[in-house]
Amino acid sequence: MHVVNSATLRRGAVGVFVASAALIAVAPGIASADKPDGTCTSSYTPMQESDLLSLPDADLALVAFAHVNRNNDDWVCYKAYPQGDHNGYSGNFVDNTAAPHS
């Protein structure tokens, strides 16, 4: 039977605490990094605000553009719904930061 004394437990606890603190010190830099601008996936089309005027739901698309363009680079990715209009919308928008990055 192996007996562990309190000094051994304290050393182990200090080691875990130090390792955890080191990990926490590194993690915020990773978590808070801004996503770089990306490109649209092959199923989405890159669009700027002026391109939306050609869509059948241009008024709704302009509102969506303002909300989706999170990185303010004036580009979003658009994919038309394959079955046509869906609840008044012609397609889906995502910001280009959600796409694979080049």
pLDDT digits (tens, 9 = 90+) for 39-89: 888 889 999 999 999 988 899 999 999 999 988 889 999 999 888 777 777
The reported pLDDT for the residue numbered 51 is 94
The reported pLDDT for the residue numbered 90 is 85
Cα separation, 79 vs 94, in Å, equals: 9
Mean pLDDT of the chain: 73
Cβ proximity of 35 and 95 under 8 Å? no
Cα separation, 54 vs 4, in Å, equals: 74
pTM for the model stands at: 0.57
